[in-house]
């Protein structure tokens, strides 16, 4: 077996993720060229004490390797955690639901949720998404300037989540959305306000789980027309979800749907600010080009930077021997720029075709369950924005320091105000 070597580009270090995204892209290009499958020591972590944070990890950075691993769950398991950083097993259990499970339990639980997301229900959900996009742009279009994250990117997924689950306006809505928005920001002191990272994480999870328990009880007694009512009734092969499973799924959705959508929306505006030629092309025919533009936004932004698997048996990738029990990280931010797969991968090109990006995963059983909702969200926002305030510019993002979400903390924007 070859001895794992630590790369000079230390993606396990927080400092790597504090770089500008362009610098990270350059580092990954070097990694793909020099050693596309490589070993790193334990990721710097705020969640585990150093004596427990002992596991290094393999990185897969090539499109083909990530696709193959994603579609081979018998070797590449999700059950031991899905992030480069380790969580304690208890945290995985209460917070991650079936995204951190393998078959047959994953198949069963995903099957039940698919029943809740059946086509008739999806049409309702997508209708709500379009309404929220219209409302938010109505509220900001006349202003002429403001922070796009505060005005649109952050409230959009919050409103969507609130309406999907029929959250009660007021305290329940506010506390739940805040917990969903803050959950992944345990290493951002601005968000935690001095609370220890692990305590911050547990507080957010417990807030979400309490809301889920209340809502599930309420909707069992008097069902409405919302996702929680559909979830408590949903079945797969005669089985329903327990309250505990519903609680964990609620946390998973809160996280999966929130930060990804927020940062994809902010990244979208930043991309169209950087690539003015692409904005002109989109604005020439918004209805005809918006769907392709959405795919290119997801590829170019890669809002979810990585997912992790754990090898269930020894396996060789590009001559590197991965051993049973090793952690393996799939870097979508890299595969979506892999020059062996893509022509001009660093260009933002809304006419890219085909555009089989890995922004929603590399295929296989864990492929993003919310891809349709995410696409509708971005399509609705882009349609509203580029027909109503097409000259909006946001050249100066303040990037989030994170290795899981490719994020923008704030994005000051200016545009010609819409007349009221
Ligand atoms: C731009 C927005 C989004 C991006 C980039 C994104 C990306 C991803 C990725 C990369 C995965 C993992 C795929 C894998 O491991 O193979 C995933 C899983 C998942 N996503 Fe999304 N997602 C987005 C929005 C959403 C939304 C809006 C929802 C819910 C309505 C959602 C729900 C989920 C769920 C439940 C899973 C776990 C699926 C499973 O394990 O079977 N996502 N997403």
Per-residue tokens: 306:
């990585």
Above 80 in pLDDT, residue 380? yes
Q: Which residue lies with its CA nearest to atom 6 of ligand 1?
A: 360
| C-alpha 371 to ligand 1 mean position (Å) | 7
Q: Specify the pairing of strand 398-399 against strand 315-317.
A: unpaired
Q: What is the pLDDT of residues 151-205, one digit of tens each?
A: 999 999 999 999 999 998 888 899 999 999 888 777 777 778 888 888 888 899 9
Q: Which residue lies with its CA nearest to atom 41 of ligand 1?
A: 366
- Above pLDDT 70, what percent of the chain? 98
Q: Which residues of 379-396 are buried (b: 16+ CB within 10 A; e: fewer)?
A: bbbbbbbbeebeebbbee
Above 90 in pLDDT, residue 74? yes
| C-alpha 1 to ligand 1 mean position (Å) | 35
Q: What is the pLDDT of residues 83-123, one digit of tens each?
A: 998 877 777 777 779 999 999 999 999 999 999 999 999 99
| C-alpha 367 to ligand 1 mean position (Å) | 7
Q: Which residue lies with its CA nearest to atom 17 of ligand 1?
A: 368
| C-alpha 256 to ligand 1 mean position (Å) | 6
Measured CA to CA in angstroms, residue 377 lies from 118, 137, 181, 371 at distances of 18, 13, 17, 10
In the chain, where are the structural domains located?
A: 14-414
Q: Which residues of 309-324 are buried (b: 16+ CB within 10 A; e: fewer)?
A: bbbbeebebeebebee
Q: What is the CATH number of domain 14-414?
A: 1.10.630.10
Above 90 in pLDDT, residue 7? no
| C-alpha 211 to ligand 1 mean position (Å) | 22
Q: Which residue lies with its CA nearest to atom 20 of ligand 1?
A: 368
Q: In a 3-state reduction of DSSP, which class is residue 76?
A: strand
Ligand 1 atom nearest residue 125's Cα? 30
Q: pLDDT class for 273, splitting at 50, 70, 90?
A: very high
Q: Which residue lies with its CA nearest to atom 28 of ligand 1?
A: 370
Ligand 1 atom nearest residue 264's Cα? 1
Above 60 in pLDDT, residue 6? no
Q: How far is CA 68 from the centre of its chain?
A: 21
Question: Rounded to whole angstroms, how far apart are CA atoms 238 and 247?
Answer: 20
Q: Crossing angle of helices 155-165/371-388, nearest 10°?
A: 130
Per-residue tokens: 230:
């559909």
Measured CA to CA in angstroms, residue 149 lies from 144, 175, 343 at distances of 15, 19, 31
CB atoms within 10 A of CB 81: 21
Above 60 in pLDDT, residue 4? no
Query: Which protein residues are within 6 Å of ligand 1, measured from CB?
Result: 70, 98-99, 110, 252-253, 256-257, 260-261, 264, 298, 303-304, 307, 359-362, 364, 366-370, 373-374
Span between the terminal Cα atoms of the chain, in Å = 69
Ligand 1 atom nearest residue 98's Cα? 40
Question: Rounded to whole angstroms, how far apart are CA atoms 420 and 314?
Answer: 64
Our mutation pick for probing the ligand 1 site, out of 370, 375, 404, 408, counting the most ligand atoms within 8 A of Cβ, is: 370
pLDDT value at position 2?
Answer: 42
| C-alpha 2 to ligand 1 mean position (Å) | 34
- Above pLDDT 90, what percent of the chain? 82
Above 70 in pLDDT, residue 304? yes
Question: Rounded to whole angstroms, how far apart are CA atoms 186 and 172?
Answer: 22
**What's the whole-number mean pLDDT along residues 367-395?**
97
Least confident segment among 254-258, 331-335, 355-359: 254-258
Above 60 in pLDDT, residue 298? yes
Comparing C-alpha atoms, which of 78, 1, 86 is closest to residue 317? 1
């Amino acid at each position: 077996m070859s001895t794992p070597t630590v790369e000079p580009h230390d993606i396990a270090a927080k400092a790597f993720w504090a770089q500008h995204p362009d610098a990270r892209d350059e580092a990954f290009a070097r990694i793909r060229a020099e050693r596309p499958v490589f070993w790193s020591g334990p990721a710097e972590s705020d969640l585990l004490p150093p004596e427990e944070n002992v596991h290094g990890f393999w990185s897969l950075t090539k499109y083909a390797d990530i696709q193959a691993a994603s579609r081979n769950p018998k070797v590449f398991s999700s059950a031991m955690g899905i992030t480069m950083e380790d969580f304690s097993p208890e945290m995985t259990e209460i917070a991650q639901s079936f995204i951190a499970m393998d078959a047959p339990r994953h198949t069963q639980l995903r099957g039940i949720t698919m029943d809740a997301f059946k086509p008739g229900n999806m049409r309702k959900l997508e209708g709500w998404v379009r309404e929220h996009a219209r409302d938010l742009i109505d509220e900001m279009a006349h202003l002429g300037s403001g922070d796009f994250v505060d005005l649109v990117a952050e409230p959009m997924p919050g409103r969507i989540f609130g309406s999907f689950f029929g959250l009660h306006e007021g305290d329940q809505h506010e506390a739940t959305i805040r917990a969903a928005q803050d959950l992944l920001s345990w290493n951002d002191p601005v968000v935690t306000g001095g609370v220890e990272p692990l305590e911050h994480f547990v507080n957010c999870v417990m807030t979400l789980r309490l809301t889920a328990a209340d809502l599930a009880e309420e909707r069992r007694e008097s069902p409405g027309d919302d996702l929680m009512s559909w979830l408590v009734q949903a079945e797969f092969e005669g089985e329903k979800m327990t309250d505990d499973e519903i609680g964990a799924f609620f946390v998973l959705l809160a996280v999966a749907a929130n930060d990804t959508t927020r940062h994809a929306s902010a990244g979208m505006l930043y991309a169209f600010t950087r690539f003015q030629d692409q904005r002109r092309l989109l604005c020439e025919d918004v209805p005809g080009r918006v769907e392709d533009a959405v795919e290119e936004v997801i590829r170019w932004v890669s809002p979810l930077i990585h997912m992790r698997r754990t090898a269930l048996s020894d396996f060789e990738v590009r001559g590197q021997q991965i051993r049973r029990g090793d952690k393996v990280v799939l870097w979508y931010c890299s595969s979506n720029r892999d020059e062996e797969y893509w022509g001009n991968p660093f260009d933002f090109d809304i006419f890219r075709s085909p555009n089989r990006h890995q922004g929603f995963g590399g295929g296989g059983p864990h492929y993003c369950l919310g891809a349709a909702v995410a696409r509708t969200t971005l399509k609705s926002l882009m349609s509203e924005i580029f027909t109503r305030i097409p000259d909006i510019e946001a050249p100066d993002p303040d990037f989030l320091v994170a290795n899981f979400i490719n994020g923008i903390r704030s994005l000051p924007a200016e545009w010609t105000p819409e007349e009221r």
